[in-house]
Structure 1
Amino acid sequence: MDYQSLLRQLYQDFNARHIDAVLAHLHTDVAWPNGWEGGYVAGHEEVRAYWLRQWQQINPTVEPLSFSVRPAGQIAVRVHQIINDLEGQLLSDSELNHVYSFEHGKVRTMVIEH
């Protein structure tokens, strides 16, 4: 499985706000970090609700910079994350790692490493 291509498409779809396309890459029992409010959300419906809430308040853009495979098979993606408010004012500009694990060709978990 070409997980790097899958993840590049996931970021492209997220940035374009194509939520159904992003969810298609996620396992139905995905565990996804709620980097905005804290904690985790689980499953497609919780992820959808989280992102829809988020996009009503802030405008994040996340671009992958590099990919590396970890010993346990996870893929770490160094990302450049820019968060603006809905008026376009910069709230955050940072680089961090997103670490993915996969099950049956789909994202099973994602962890944010600062």
Structure 2
Amino acid sequence: MNDQPILKQLYRDFNARNIDAVLAFMHADVDWPNGWEGGYVSGHDEVRAYWLRQWQQIDPVVEPVSFEERPDGRIAVGVHQLIRSLDGQIVSDGHVNHVYTFDNGKVRTMAIEQ
């Protein structure tokens, strides 16, 4: 699974709020789940706007804990997701799977599995 280093870096950059670095790993037409408000966002501009809105309201930290390549080529990343309010109160603390597809070395889609 040669995409694991890319995914690890993506999470490090997300947790550091380095949007441009994360977007550099994404396909220009990426489909990304809006896990906070619902639905999906598409493309770099919508992903950037979504994260900026999110970070004005909550403080998520997402750490990968496992990686699994599925038979269909998708990569499931088990993550520990800790979400705090901006004043530091824990809103959510749990585990979910993020499931990725790649297109020419870039993240093309991500889905959240509970």
> Which bracket does the TM-score occupy, shorter chain normalised?
over 0.9
Structure 1 segments unaligned to the other structure (5+ residues) = none
What's the offset of the Cα at 1:82? 0.2
Give me the whole-angstrom Cα distance separating, in 1, the residues matched to 2:73 and 2:23.
21
Where do 1:22-101 residues align within 5 Å?
22-101=22-101
Give me the whole-angstrom Cα distance separating, in 2, the residues matched to 1:2 and 1:70.
13
Q: Secondary structure at the match of 1:73?
A: coil
The one-letter code of the counterpart of 1:53 is R
Structure 2 segments unaligned to the other structure (5+ residues) = none
1:104 is matched with 104
Cα deviation code 1:12-34 (max 9, x no counterpart): 00000000000000000000000
What's the offset of the Cα at 1:2? 2.1
The Cα RMSD (Å) is: 0.8
Q: Secondary structure at the match of 1:38?
A: coil
Moved >4 Å (runs of 4+): none
Where do 1:12-31 residues align within 5 Å?
12-31=12-31
TM (normalized to structure 1)? Answer: 0.99
TM (normalized to structure 2)? Answer: 0.99
Cα deviation code 1:77-103 (max 9, x no counterpart): 000000000000000001010000000
The one-letter code of the counterpart of 2:8 is R
- State, as a whole percentage, how many aligned pairs show the same letter: 69
Give me the whole-angstrom Cα distance separating, in 1, the residues matched to 2:96 and 2:105.
24
